[in-house]
Structure 1
């Protein structure tokens, strides 16, 4: 599931180029392909995240996958830009529904909070694989003269197969009525906005995603030598190897992020998660500062390198934030964190674009904003490692929720 929707979501850069040509829209209008998808996820996470807790993981996963499949197949009949945007929004809502249920299911099948974190890194690793496959598939379809909309049809076919697998799969028992102390509805999601654990990890997710999205949204603009002349786009780099790296920098970033998440499955079983996140966030900050101080030549290496250090941060935020709550609330908590995740993905690149435009359109100034996001993230994770505010809560949940699963 994670790989399938990443194939569409992280192909948006390639798709936007085709949308601008096909529908003759402006950059701002085309950017709605990204923004409305994230808004759909954010809305779904906050207001529909409770569905997994109320109706069970299986029904909610199938519902979300069905909505996503319908939106994908309808791309074949989309002939207007407004209709395409409506499908993008619907697909975002669908992702929010099945992803919150999938995140809650990870808690159901985990035997400890540590195993929960390892499994979460594994799931997000497949998202990283989808982020590599999707843009390559779009580029291949275009070279073959095939409409980019067929990417969504392929995703829809995969989604249909996933629905059949989800229908046949056995799920752990899920109870909600006897365990919950209050009705499971949208009000519970809103009440979690006052919980320090839910909000702490949610704000961390916002800062991380805002910093991460800077790479795949704005790095090409920062690395390009001349945006107006295709033949001179990478002429400022001295060697052919540097020019090739500049051309495929985003793909290198996604590959390093995916590889790092698979390594993270092992890493989180053997090291202090708070220490790892603190050190990796410092490395991200240093990469941003080095890329700004050394210019394009340094950024060419340092910006894609952030993929290694970013790899384990978001899955661990998700895992530890969800693990701070009983299993019967995992869907609701996952929805709240997902809301802030999508908000960071939408707001971060937008703020960077505004700041860059305010200083003459130079993407360097936008990356100063990204460096600020990463600095705030490091400060928060330094505090988390130093004070360890979740230790008692996680120990309590470990004793009450996982003792019978060992």
Structure 2
């Protein structure tokens, strides 16, 4: 396979889905403004995105190698192209639910396929860690672009304007171009082939058995909590900027791009750092840094007066300080994913990624809905202070994750053989 061409296609696919997936916070803000939907009701958009990801991953991840990763990615791109076209043609809250449902179904197919394909092109665990962080960093570049692209189409002077829906013509075209490039790219998926004597039912049962292994339980719970934190912040930061920091709607979305930029920078940098340092102390420093940012930034968000002439130069300091949490948050998710996946044989990557996607999706929905409820019932300050709880729990879970990984390697050898032994082959 032509590795560089394939990696370019994978990064481009992830870029497209980064824009679609992480537009949910911006769409929530616009749905509230355009259609008078309550915060609690608007927060279900996260569920329409994440629950299909979890359900579809659960149903198809175990036998995607039989379907073919390329075919699965093409199907996902075709679905989201049609869904993007529906947004400006049939505007409404129901269409937004349909869009994120389609994005969820598609991303389940795409993420399992992309992660599994990385295992086919990576030449070593360190190479895998590098391209995993680069992939996730490229994803965050897409998120960063999303805030500015959507912000460009938002009319801050008229909160009820639906001009922002025109962004979906651009997104539909981007999806279509990516579909064509993928269709013209050759893939060799032979290394991911499942044992011929196994049936799809046996493939599914093998995936379920993975979850009951202690190492896998610790891994997916850690991933669940991380995504809960990231989506709590990412989804509700535009609304926090608008209502608590008193920034205009378009600027609220654009300022959130600092969070995405920090995530992108952190993940791209982690690809270099994790090749030189052990992942465990790096993760601990990152979690402590996240807690420090919360405790330093949120006290600065109280009693901010409305300024109709606010600019980037006069915006509250917290608008720039709090998004720095993304810099510390960034390496955790791709780091633990790479530790887990790079030590498994390629034919297990799809099933393991399926479990990862399921619990990541559930974590995203849980985080967004809890934060939305607390934001509406109490305050945005209290909602973001609550992130300290899962941060502390992830700190504890990483200790047990390290013990499980390194204990398995001591007992069974390092690399693929060791991990396979702990997980059950």
TM-score band, normalised by shorter chain: 0.7 to 0.9
Seen in structure 2, the aligned counterparts of structure 1 residues 370 and 220 have a Cα distance that, compared at 3 Å, is same
Aligned pair in 2 of structure 1 residues 131, 398: CA closer, same or farther (>3 Å)?
Answer: farther
Q: How far apart are the structure 2 equivalents of 1:173 and 1:309?
A: 35
Corresponding residue for 1:133?
A: 145
TM-score w.r.t. structure 1 length?
0.84
The 3-state SS of whatever aligns with 1:270 is coil
Deviation at 1:148, TM superposition (A): 2.6
CA-CA distance at 1:368 after TM superposition: 3.2
Residue in structure 2 matched with residue 57 of structure 1 by the alignment: 69
Residue 169 and residue 179 in structure 1: after superposition, are their counterparts in 2 closer, same or farther (change >3 A)?
A: same
**Which residue number corresponds to residue 159 of structure 1?**
175
Contact residue 215 and residue 250 of structure 1 kept, 8 A:
no
What's the counterpart of residue 8 of structure 2?
none
Q: Note the 1:51-200 alignment, pairs <5 A.
A: 51-143=63-155, 147-174=163-190, 175-178=192-195, 183=200, 185-200=203-218
SS in 1 for 2:275: helix
1:324–1:394 Cα contact (<8 Å) kept = no
Is there any run of 5+ residues in structure 1 with no aligned partner, and where? 235-244, 402-406
- The question of 1:233 aligning with 2:239 is answered no
Q: What RMSD over aligned residues (CA atoms) do the two structures have, in Å? A: 3.2
* Correspondence for 1:238: none
2:355 corresponding residue in structure 1: 336
* C-alpha deviation, 1:357, in angstroms: 5.1
For the 8 Å contact 1:352–1:365, the answer to whether it is kept is no
Structure 1 residue 138: deviation in Å?
Answer: 1.2
- CA distance in 1 between partners of 2:298 and 2:150 (Å): 31
Please list every run of 5 or more consecutive structure 2 residues that lacks an aligned counterpart in the other structure. 1-12, 303-315, 421-425
1:272-287 to structure 2, matched below 5 A, reads 272-287=278-293
Alpha-carbon distance in structure 1 between the residues aligned to 2:70 and 2:120:
12
Structure 1 residue 251 corresponds to structure 2 residue 264: no
Q: Distance in 2 between matches of 1:134 and 1:58?
A: 25
Q: 1:374 to 1:58 in 2, by over 3 A?
A: same
Conserved? CA contact 1:75–1:87, under 8 Å: yes
Q: What is the TM-score normalised by the length of structure 2?
A: 0.80
Give the conservation status (yes or no) of the 8 Å contact 2:270–2:331: yes
Deviates more, 1:153-162 or 1:114-123: 153-162
Q: 2:324 corresponds to which residue?
A: 305
Is residue 2:338 matched to residue 1:322? Answer: no
8 A contact 1:275–1:385 mirrored in 2: no
Distance, in Å, in 1 between the alignment partners of 2:209 and 2:16 is 32
C-alpha spacing 1:156/1:192, structure 2 compared with 1 (3 Å): farther
